[in-house]
């Protein structure tokens, strides 16, 4: 598959490519009912539109991804009746693509090095409770040269201030269609997001924005927990000269405790449900999805 050079405009438009969507799980655990809902919702949308459905394996987290989880993803999805195009893009095989995107952003001074450790960042958010989570805004450290000289590890953060300066009037016009409504992009929601760090050379944001464009995804259909992420992704698309897809967000499947399902909720893994006699049809029925 050809790689997309940074800044290279994608010539196809949604109208020319039709409807292309994807399911992009990370092989860090067993698929559960929430994943089944996400995969089937995207698949059903592709079928209804006469479009294409792709599967992408987001296996950039070397510490948490395991080959057996990836194998189980293929088996569980096939059992569920999900069919996808091959070859499947596995992100770990394309680190060079993401490094090129990062290099481009570095060359354009749109990112800066943040030498703070996770612990320091946690302390910061505790001391500033009005800030959303660990939302960070800032710029390069004044003692950057010394820190670099001593080999201190750092993360690359997108500088929203630099992005705003670079885009000028375009910043105001950043927006996207989400759930049928034109939405003004508010990249500030996530602050200066980390795009790479030493042990994790490409973040989810960087890799997924690159891959969605490379794979010609026209419709991103995923859980509403990623609504804020879209605001950042739209900015990255504009910076990199990539098209902005249409976004749809689906509800999250909640467990008995009212919380969203997590990978540790073993009772609702597709494996466990299958072993207890559930069928693909009964799973669809539970999720409120038609056959």
Q: Residue 128: is it exposed, middle or buried by C-beta count within 10 angstroms (0-12/13-18/19+)?
A: exposed
Pick from 32, 55, 58, 234: which binds ligand GLU (CB under 6 A)?
58
Q: Which of 4, 24, 55, 178 binds ligand GLU (CB under 6 A)?
A: 24
Contact between 59 and ligand GLU per CB under 6 A: no
Among 203, 208, 215, 218, binds ligand GLU (CB under 6 A): 208
Closest contact distance (angstroms) between CB of 215 and ligand GLU is 12
Please, where are the H alpha helices in the chain? 14-17, 33-48, 67-80, 95-107, 118-127, 144-149, 160-167, 170-173, 204-214, 227-240, 270-275, 280-286
Asked if residue 25 binds ligand GLU (CB under 6 A), the reply is yes
CB of 226 to ligand GLU, least distance (A): 6
252 DSSP 8-state letter = P
CB atoms within 10 A of CB 39: 26
Rounded CA-CA distance 63/153 in Å is: 18
What is the smallest separation between the CB atom of 75 and ligand GLU, expressed in angstroms? 18
CA distances from 143 to 97, 113, 149, 270 (A): 31, 11, 10, 51
- 232 touching ligand GLU, by CB under 6 A: no
Quick check: 237 binds ligand GLU (CB under 6 A)? no
Q: Distance between CA 227 and CA 175 in Å, rounded? A: 13
Nearer to ligand GLU, 61 or 104 (CB): 61
How far apart (Å, rounded) are the C-alpha atoms in residues 267 and 42?
24
Q: Are 56 and 17 in contact (CB under 8 A)?
A: no
Give, as ranges, the residues between 69 and 128 that touch ligand GLU (CB under 6 A). none
CB of 123 to ligand GLU, least distance (A): 27
- Contact pick of 52, 210, 222, 238 for ligand GLU (by CB under 6 A): 222
Q: Does 26 sit near ligand GLU (CB under 6 A)?
A: yes
Binding site for ligand GLU (CB under 6 A): 24-26, 58, 208, 222, 226
């Amino acid at each position: 598959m050809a790689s997309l050079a940074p800044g290279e405009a994608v010539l196809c438009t949604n109208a020319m490519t039709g409807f292309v969507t994807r399911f992009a799980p990370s092989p860090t655990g067993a698929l559960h009912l929430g994943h089944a809902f996400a995969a089937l919702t995207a698949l059903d949308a592709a079928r209804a539109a006469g479009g294409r459905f792709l599967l992408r394996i987001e296996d950039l987290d070397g510490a948490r991804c395991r080959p057996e989880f990836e194998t189980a993803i293929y088996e569980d999805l096939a059992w569920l009746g999900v069919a996808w195009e091959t070859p499947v893009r596995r992100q770990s095989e394309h680190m060079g693509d993401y490094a090129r995107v990062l290099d481009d952003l570095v060359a354009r001074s749109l990112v800066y090095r943040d030498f703070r450790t996770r612990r320091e960042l946690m302390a910061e958010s505790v001391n500033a409770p009005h800030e959303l989570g660990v939302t960070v805004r800032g710029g390069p450290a004044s003692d950057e040269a010394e820190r670099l000289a001593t080999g201190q590890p750092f993360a690359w953060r997108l500088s929203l201030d630099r992005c705003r300066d670079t885009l000028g009037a375009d910043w105001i016009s950043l927006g996207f269609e989400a759930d049928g409504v034109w939405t003004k992009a508010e990249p500030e929601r996530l602050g200066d997001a980390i795009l790479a760090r030493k042990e994790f050379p490409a973040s989810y944001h960087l890799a997924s924005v690159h891959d969605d464009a490379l794979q010609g995804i026209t419709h991103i259909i995923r859980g509403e927990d990623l609504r804020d992420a879209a605001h950042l992704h739209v900015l990255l698309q504009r910076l990199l000269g990539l098209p902005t897809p249409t976004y749809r967000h689906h509800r999250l499947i909640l467990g008995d405790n009212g919380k969203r399902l997590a990978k540790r909720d073993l009772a609702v893994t597709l494996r466990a449900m299958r072993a207890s006699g559930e069928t693909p049809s009964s799973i669809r029925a539970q999720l409120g999805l038609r056959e």
